[in-house]
Structures are given as C-alpha cells and as structure tokens.
Amino acid sequence: MRGCFVTGTDTGVGKTLISTALLYWLGAQGLACSGYKPVAAGTQVIDGERVNEDVRALRAAGSVTLDDVVVGPCQFEAACAPQVAATLEGRTIDRVALLRGAQVVAARAEWLVVEGVGGFCVPLAPDFDSADLAGDLALPIVLVVGLRLGCINHALLSAEAIRRRGLPLAAWVANVLDPQMPHRGDNLASLQHELDRRQERTPRLGLVPNFDSPTAAAVAAHLDNAALRTLFGLTWI
C-alpha cells in the first residue's frame, strides 16, 4: 500500500481540501490514485441520494473511478463524533473492515490518500481510535495545521501523539483559516523550528491561502513539488 494518511490538528482545518489537492497532484503525474475516507460523519440528501461531502470530494479528485461506498465505507448521518454517531444508529465501527476497505481501494489504485476523521486521536470504538487505524495502515502521515491562534500548541501536541505511536510524521501543511492572523510568518517559523527540534526534520509541503471557493487544482498550486516527490518517493519525476 502506497500513499499517505492525512490527519489534522482539529476538525475543520482543511484535511479534505489538502487530501483532494494531493490526489490532484498525483493524478497530474499520470498516477492511478484514489482517496479513502474510512469513517465519515454527516450526510445530506443531494438529488435524492444521501451523500457525505468529504467522501464525494475525495471520489471526484481521484484518477480512478470508484463508488462512494468504496471510498467511504463507513458513513453516518449525524455530523458528530464517530463513536457517538455509531451509537445513535445502533452500529459499530469495525476496525478489520476499515483496513480491508483500504486494501480494496489499494487493489484498484496505485496510490492512496487516506483522510482521517477529526484530529489524530478520535475514538472510533471502546477499544480503538483513529490513531490505531493510522498504525494499521502504516502510511506516512501528513499533518494539516489550521493557521489560527493556538495552532502551534495543537500542532506540537499532534506531532507528539504521532511520534509516541511510533508513526512517521512525513510532512505538514499550513492551511490559513484566519487571514488576519497576526504575526503569521513568525508563527510559521516557530512551528517549523519546534517540529524540527523535537524530532527529525519535518518538511512543510506548502502554505495554502484562504480561498473563497477553493479547488483541488488551486490548492495543489501552493504545494511544493520537490517536497511532494520526496513524500511519495517519486524521485524519477
């Protein structure tokens, strides 16, 4: 299985946006790629069909055509914590089934971009969480940092949690949530210094500005090609 696992410092920091941009970039290299959203909470009815926006966005960004149920095998109607959503619907989140679902997608796509749910350590069942799932998949981890007040602490705690699980934090992406964030450059420099100081060098894939109507292509234009080639081991491009 090749690709990456995209997690975030919190919910709503742009994991789906960055994931679709990574898929767009992989597809632009002529590679067969697909997104995978193991657990998705929150659906709405569009054209008579109940869909999850994140799953639909990942499906559209991939270069391999797959059904929603393959890209997002475990979807819940309520937009809340996955374990709570599962309880509301009288369902359980099956760890083995989620891993098997990733293997199904990987059999169809050469490269896989897996988007986590919420932050890094989100309970999925009484006996496992999203960090356990990341360990099961054993993919390099990309951390999306939503740039706003408090993001340095959130990012460093997330990086520490990833390190304690023995997983590789391969790269991070800065995503501007607050366009008016004061001293943004100083905050970025401080965060990069601390990430590098506390573990092996963690490259930044890019600084993504705040878009009114973002697209995968527009976001991908703000990612660093050399860093992406290193992330995916594409030294031949």
Active site members: 37
What gap in Å lies between CA 174 and CA 89, rounded to an integer?
A: 35
CB 124 within 8 A of CB 133: yes
What gap in Å lies between CA 190 and CA 118, rounded to an integer?
A: 24
Q: Helix (H) and strand (E) counts for the chain?
A: 10, 12
**DSSP reduced 3-state for 207:** strand
Category of 167 on φ-ψ map: left (φ > 0), alpha (ψ -120 to 50) or beta: beta
What gap in Å lies between CA 125 and CA 136, rounded to an integer?
A: 15
